[in-house]
Chains A and B, each alone.
Chain A
Amino acid sequence: MSAEPVILAPAEAIAAPPRFGAWRKLLRHPGVLIGGGLILFMTLMGILAPVLGTINPAEINPTFRNRVPGMERTIRADDGSTRPYKHLMGTDSLGRDVYSRVVYGARVSILVGVTVATISVAIGLLIGLVAGYVRWLDGIIMRFMDGLMAIPAILLAIALVSLFRAGLFSVIVAIVVPEIPRVVRLVRSIVLSVREEPYVEAAIMAGTPTPALLVRHVLPNTVAPLIVQGTFICASAILVEAILSFLGVGIPPETPTWGNIMAEGRSLFRVYPHNILFPGVFLALTVLAVNMLGDGLRDTLDPKMAKR
């Protein structure tokens, strides 16, 4: 093959690469900064709960029930020594320390949020890719997903937890199942639009086998939207977990979760609103932070979706 230039390209120089600005843009977005910072704070709070001046969050103390925030008392450790302790957020109707329960409660919320997001995105991605690329399976899968989507999410989650023994695992499963069809739809729609792109057709013409085609040309397009979607799933999972616990069908009441603390505080709400106030504020702040992060990620990673 001779390789002399035949027709020279126009005199215009090949453009210099633009600065790689995506990361910098991300770290400059106020939503990402504030949201990310708050999430980091809540996560650290959950992890470091034992050293944040907490006492055993499950310890029941009949003498100090329903105390208002700020009440001080002396507690006795296992070795018999005593020290003063201040119930910053008061105690609940079983005498448990609300502050300790709230701090420990961050663990379940963050864990559920992250786990549900990861699992549902992973499963949804797999099914979505199959539905988008295997034509004969597409119809079957999507009809099934339509059916699943027709059941309102919280209702489906409530019904699913009723099937299993209450616990962290069953709650996660119950929240994951209704989220999957939403991820599947997103992935499938991306696959369907990307496979029309001329560069994918060019790859088909280059004889690229389907699995490689999906991995090389289609999959990279799903990353940004899925990170964004995953963030929003995380926010909604934290909310749904709290709702399930609040309704009394979620994680067993002795485990400190924000939903459980509030469920416990329901009956005496009129007199002691702090049992709902404190976990409520932490829950709302956490979900808000995740949502802000999600909006920020969408603005920077996925400008096409940001319009929606």
Chain B
Amino acid sequence: MFLYFLRRLAATIPVMLIVAVLVFLMLRLTPGDPAAIIAGDNANAEQVALIRTRLGLDQPIIVQFFIWMGNLLRGDFGESFFFKKTVAELILGRLEPTIALALCTILIAVTVAVPLGVLAAYKQGTWIDRLVMGFSVMGFSVPVFVIGYALIYLFAIKLNWVPVQGYQPLSQGFGGFLQRLILPSVTLSVIYIALIARMTRASVIEVLGEDYIRTARAKGQVESKILFRHALKNAAVPIVTVIGLGVALLIGGVVVTESVFTIPGLGRLTVDAVLARDYPTIQAVILLFSLVYVLINLAVDLVYTLFDPRIRY
């Protein structure tokens, strides 16, 4: 098991290395000279050259890559062109809201989606099933910011139940924290619910067609136990997989949701950095999000063993 963990961890290294190369090359592909951008519009050629030397931009590209990688591994993500801070500081300051939003969303999504999917599978072909599937297609189709504004309009402006926008750190009180977090989390969870419910339904339906379900019926088992004791655990692996893969959607959604609800998190930072063409920040954020995504899916792989004894490492 531990050996397997090490091997899987090792297997993420090439993936992350490719991500790093891609991200590095992206910066090099930019039209325009990063040094000139840093120096600003009214800098002279000499100043630009100085910055170029300081950043190592006059070195061959391979050398630059290794310098950059070396810095990364030491936790040095460079300096933001735009915010005039180190990128590491910048990211640390934006971490809390994003983590809170993501965790809250996953919690809502899983608790709503899995029972919904099981219900739809169990009632396959009935109006309940069609309703759940209909909701799921809607969830895929309505853009997250439209949902966000609709919810703001309804709950914040018309009903006045929650503040319209903004974020309050956990340290300033749990009530306000939750009050401001709930609407963005619900917004973001819609597409995630759609995804997980759909996969849960499909997976449970497939398992319900298996021979061992027939065996359980032949033993005289009641349907509810067949569903929960025999089917759900077997259906778990694809469900957990899609929860892991869905994190990519979640990260995309975080970027949009934070903009809609003006939450000062990493997503908002990404947009600001892109608008300002602040490449070191963009690079760092992409690397960070990708790393999180890869690690979550590694964790998902390890979770499989809880559900399926056939998967042993």
CA distance in complex: A284, B191 (Å): 13
* Residue B22 is within 8 A (CB to CB) of chain A in the complex: yes
Provide the residues of chain A in CB contact with B259, threshold 8 Å: 246-247
> Taking the complex as formed, is A292 at the interface, i.e. its CB lies under 8 A from any CB of chain B?
yes
The CB with the most chain B CB atoms within 10 A, among A150, A156, A159, is that of A150
Assign chain A's interface to a size class. Answer: 35 or more
Query: What residues of chain A lie closer than 8 Å to B29, measured between beta carbons?
Result: 163
Sampled A-B contacts (5; CB under 8 Å): A143-B18, A147-B19, A152-B252, A158-B255, A164-B31
Give the distance to chain B from A38, nearest Cβ to Cβ, in Å.
Answer: 11
Q: Determine whether the beta carbon of A243 is less than 8 Å from that of B202.
A: no
- A150 — which chain B residues lie within 8 A by C-beta? 15-16, 18-19, 290, 293-294
B63 within 8 A of A: no
Verify B286–A162 contact, CB threshold 8 A: no
Residues 40-58 of A at the B interface (beta carbon under 8 Å): none
Q: Is A191 an interface residue (CB 8 A)?
A: no
CB pair A155–B271 under 8 Å, yes or no, is no
Interface residues on B, range: 35 or more
Q: Within the assembled complex, what's the spacing in Å between the Cα atoms of A124 and B282?
A: 27
| Cβ A249 vs Cβ B274 within 8 A | yes
- The answer to whether B141 touches A288, judged by C-beta atoms less than 8 angstroms apart, is yes
Partner of A159, one of B15, B205, B282: B282
Q: Is A146 an interface residue (CB 8 A)?
A: yes
Q: When the two chains form their complex, are residues A276 and B146 in contact, meaning their CB atoms are under 8 A apart?
A: yes
Contact B289 A235 (CB under 8 A): no
Within 8 A of A (CB), among B244-269: 247-249, 251-253, 255-256, 259
Given the complex of chains A and B, what is the CA–CA distance between A159 and B285 in angstroms? Answer: 10
CB pair B251 A243 closer than 8 Å: no
Highest count of chain A CB atoms <10 Å: which of B22, B141, B282:
B141
* Any B CB within 8 A of the CB of A253: no
Chain B residue numbers with a CB within 8 Å of A248 are 271, 275
Is A83's beta carbon under 8 Å from chain B?
no
Nearest CB of chain B from residue A276's CB, rounded to whole Å = 5
CA distance in complex: A248, B271 (Å): 9
Q: Are A154's CB and B252's CB within 8 A?
A: yes
Within 8 A of B (CB), among A236-283: 239, 242-243, 246-249, 262, 269-270, 273, 276, 280, 283
A30 to B132: give the CA distance in the assembly, Å: 17
